[in-house]
Every structure is written in C-alpha cells, then in structure tokens.
Chains A and B, each alone.
Chain A
Amino acid sequence: MKKSTRIGILLAVLVIAVGAGLAQWLVIRNDDVTKAASGLITSVEIGGPFALTDHTGKQVTEKDYLGNFTLVFFGYTFCPDVCPTELGDIALALDELGDDSVAVTPVMISIDPERDTPEVLSQYVSLFHERLIGLTGSPEAIKQVADAYRIFYKRVDDPDYSYYLMDHTSFVYLLDPEGNVASLLRYGTSPEEMASIIRQHMRG
C-alpha cells in the first residue's frame, strides 16, 4: 500500500469517528430535552437562576416563584400571532385546572427587552390572565436566562420598514415547586393536554 493511500484511509477513519461523535453528542442533547418532556427525569441541566424585573418594576429571581408550579413561556409583545395563541392556551389550561390553578404561576419572559419594558408588559399581561407575570431585563440578563432554558431568539429586521420581528423557540416549561423543569410543552400542545400534564405532576 502506498503511503498516500494509508494517509487517505487514516483521514477517512478520522472523519467518520469525529462525525459519529458529533452525531452522538447531538442525540444526547436531544434526548435530554425529550426525557424532560416526558417527565422521566427532572435533573437535566435546563433552567437555573436568573435575575430579572417583573411587570410591576420589582427585581425578582427564580427564588420568588418557588413553592408553586410555574409555567414559563418565552415570547414578546410585538408578536400578533404565536405569542397571543400560546398565552391564550396557557390561560385556558389554567381554567381547565379550576381551583387547582392557584398552585400554578404563569410567567412570560420577554426575548425582546428593547421594546418590552416593565410598563409595556404590565399593560399586556393582564389581557391574558389576571395572574400572568411578565419578566424582562437587560439584554445580558435575558441572554443568560434564554441560554439556560435553551431558547433560541434572533432579531429579524425588515429592510422595507422600521419595525423588527423576532424568531424564537416557542417552548412552555413546567417547573415544579422546587424550580426544576418537570416538563416541556411544545408549541401546539392543547390547553387540555397542558392541564392534564400539570395534574400528573401535581399528583407527584
């Protein structure tokens, strides 16, 4: 075998090995989220501490919401379609839970802190649910919490106009009273399904 052929084979093996490793890593990452979604494990590294400002202007951290279940949605107020739909579904899920809904705190974290000041959020949240909490913060604080929850978001400018929109991951997380992710509710989960998943976790 020529030397160049041997090097060629060696390179090919190396490429395949790296590729396989990468694929494995991706599968594991995907698996974490899937397991969290089905509620099999709760100790995956999603979520974590944050320091933000609520819609009343109060400084808050994740500790403020411990003791209750929390539904966390990442969105923005300049979003006329997906966010109102998702927040409407959260409100319906809480209705579905009846008296048990007091054990659940609905929270929207803005991924558009530039426009979503506490004042803007305070007018917005009450349209959906009397107990919905809006959270915003500095761009850095929002980046930190979005990364912790594996939320992708990106500003998209329209060259024709002066406004912009946001691309964003549309996840609703259910956190247990200890603040751990108990379940991941993907966009399109019906209010009835949401309520049923929350009930399952309430029963333990």
Chain B
Amino acid sequence: MAIVRGLAALVIAAGVLGGAVPAQAHDHVQGSLTIVHPWSRATAPSQKAGGVFLVIQNAGDRPDRLIGIESDMADIASLHASIRDGDVVKMRPVKGGIEVPAKGEVALAPGGKHVMLIGLREQLIKESTFPLTLIFERAGPIEVVAVVESAGARRPAAGDPEHDHDAATARSGK
C-alpha cells in the first residue's frame, strides 16, 4: 500500500511540477479493490460541473459498495447516473451507493454512472490531475488521482488510443 501511495504521490508531484502527466493508465490498489484509471474532462472557467469516470475491480470474495465521494475540487461531490428515457436523457443522484460485486467490477463511464462534481472551485485543465477520495462500505476511504482528459473525451487517452481524438490528431501530425 505504501508503494501505491508513493506512486500516487509521484503522479501528483509530476502533475504539480510538470503541469502535466504523460497519458498512461494508473491504478490504485487497496485490499481487494483496484481503482482503474480515474479520469475527468477539461472544463471552461464558466463551467461549474464536471464528471469523474473510473472502473472499480473487486478481487475479493465479498461485495463492497461505493457509498460516497469527497473532493476539495467542488462544493458537492456525489454519485449520479445518466438515464436514457426514449430520446430524453436525464441525470439523477444514485441512491444507496454503487455495488461492486465479489470477483467482479463496475464501470463509471460516460453515459452511465459517474461521479459528479458540482460547484467546481477550480477549472479542470487538460492533462492536469487532482485528488479525490472514494468511500467504500467495507474498504473505507481510498484516495485516488484523476487525470483530466479533453473536454469531449469518451474514454481515457491511455485506455484506447485507437479511438482517441488527441492520439489520432497526434498521429496524423507526425
């Protein structure tokens, strides 16, 4: 765990010192839970809401539950879900948290469940990072670092380079 903390600190340090981190996947492990590559999207200064997306893997024999989020980045950090009702899209708070099945995983991804940051205190700038804490019923708090991707990113750049806007642009620019 100390190593993971160290790694997280390194990622944060890189973000602070360099103003940017290289786009590579980063995971946070605590007990049987692994938080895979938390990421967010760049916002405009005028934009007061943002989303955070990630995957939670549970290697353990018992289910756990994500019950809360803490972040200094916003006035409120909560769990929301985008719901599609015919052609109408709605966003609603997730009541009772998000279950992570034993020997399974749950994805917080665009168009589905996500962490919503409401009343952003800082603009989210592409390629910067920020910390947030996920609170689990059994595992307790897990501090993670989210990487800010482009505003319209559908998935993290490190996760799927074939379909990434910036990666594609970078390739064609070579």
Contacts and interface: CB of A to CB of B under 8 A. Distances in A.
B169 A95 contact: yes
A53 to B, nearest CB: 16
Interface string B98-117: 00000000000011001011
Interface stretch (B27-35, B85-93, B129-137): B85-93
B154 A89 contact: yes
Interface of B: 41-51, 76, 80, 82, 84-85, 87-91, 93, 110-111, 114, 116-119, 150-154, 165, 168-169
A169 B89 CA distance: 6
A51 B61 CA distance: 60
A144 interface: no
B42 to A, nearest CB: 6
A25 interface: no
Interface residues of A, number: 35
A123 B44 contact: yes
14 contacts: A80-B116, A82-B91, A82-B111, A84-B151, A87-B151, A87-B152, A95-B165, A95-B169, A123-B44, A126-B44, A127-B42, A127-B44, A127-B150, A169-B88
A165 B114 CA distance: 15
A88 B51 CA distance: 14
Greatest chain B CB density within 10 A among A84, A163, A186 is at A84
Contacts of B151: 84, 87-88, 127-128
Contact of B114 (A81, A87, A92, A126): A81
B152 A78 contact: no
A161 B118 contact: yes
Contact of A80 (B41, B45, B84, B152): B41
A141 B8 CA distance: 49
